[in-house]
Amino acid sequence: MPQPLDRRGFGLALAALALAAPALPLAGCAPPASAQRGAASMLVPDFADLAERVLPAVVNIAVTSEQVPQLPPELRGTPFERYFRERLRERRRQTIGAGSGFIIDPAGYIVTNNHVVGNATRVVVSLQDGSEYPATVVGTDELTDLALLRIEPRGRLASVPWGSSASLRIGQWVLAAGNPFGLGGTVTSGIVSARGREIGAGPFDDFIQTDAAINPGNSGGPLFNIAGEVVGISTAIYSPSGASAGIGFATPSDLARPVIEQLRRDGRVERGWLGVSVQDLPPEPGRSPARSGGVLIAAVERASPAARAGLRPGDVVTAVNGERVESSRALVRSVALAPPGQTVRLTVVREGRERELPVQVGRRPPGVS
């Protein structure tokens, strides 16, 4: 099971060299050493310049939170409840955690994961030069596991730009940076192993999978492309041991960036909502194109935006604003991107006939996953 945090290209380089071996000259006719070094550099990039450029914008995050032991259920409502509650309050204990983040604005705005700072009573950010700053939490978003912090720096800070995760290709080199096991600024390299991974974290699962080593403490750290742009945020790992097993997951920048912009502007994220239960409806052979694929409406909540618009159980949604949707997750994401109050056009198949229904989306209620 993937866990919230959190191979390098060496093996890949060896494999590539092995595959290329038959094309090399025979012994006694080897190319000059400079040519060999040039060929190797095309297979394995040197990350030194990239690391030197981006590390000043990568931060360590130390978190302190208070935990109060819970009263056993069997004592509730008994004469002993008050006594034990007072004892438990005296036994408050502090827990200390660590994570990573990155500066997106020289004024002191820092991106990290919600699970790094979600229950914090105190957050301290450490820069690469060793300076420390208390941080305030500007806003968090549990559904995408993102958070935005703010510090008041004594001078202008180094920052890193966003990149486009949509442009990533499987096999492309990436560099992860962060604070694994609390050791401090660390970089690891790898490739994009897969895209669009769903790991059961929530309705907006769309993770980048990478074999760059990601470990506990890397949470919230940036995943860079070769240009030094942030294309992902290290969020979770799959690991039988709790440490890196070469399968790490990063939230794509194209998903994270608009969430962070909302948090910076409003301190919270508001999403569109229909009020329906949905399930995938895969294409079936022999069906007409109008009935091929789509998302089945299984139930409609009373007095919801969907109910007011006339959506019914059994309807099949095939597009939102003309863009085809082929999975329930795609439908949820498309609607969630619409600000509450905005009208979206749903293309719906009902009793074999296609029609369009305008729906004014509502505000997604708290706690809806």
- Residues annotated as catalytic are 115, 145, 219
What is the C-alpha separation between 208 and 297, in angstroms, rounded? 29
| Collapsed DSSP state (helix, strand, coil) of residue 308 | helix
Please answer whether residues 40 and 6 qualify as being in contact, where contact means their C-beta atoms are separated by less than 8 angstroms. Answer: no
In DSSP terms, which residues pair with 132 in a beta bridge? 126
What is the distance of C-alpha 86 from the center of its chain? 40
**Nearest C-alpha neighbor of 201 from the set 260, 135, 147, 251:** 251
d(CA 257, CA 254): 6
Residues in Cβ contact with 22 at an 8 Å cutoff, skipping those fewer than 6 apart: none
Euclidean distance between the first and the last CA atom of the chain, given in angstroms as a whole number:
19
Q: Are 135 and 149 in contact (CB under 8 A)?
A: yes
What does the alpha-carbon distance between residue 172 and residue 78 come to, in Å, rounded to a whole number? Answer: 62
The counts of H helices and E strands in the chain are 8, 21
Q: Is the dihedral of CA 305, 307, 310, 314 positive or negative?
A: positive
Residue 8 contacts residue 173 (beta carbons within 8 Å)? no
Q: What is the CA radius of gyration of the chain?
A: 25
How far apart, in Å, are the Cα atoms of 255 and each of 100, 203, 206, 262? 19, 12, 8, 12
Residues with Cβ within 8 Å of residue 287, at least 6 apart in sequence: none
Query: Do 247 and 6 meet the contact criterion of CB atoms below 8 Å apart?
Result: no
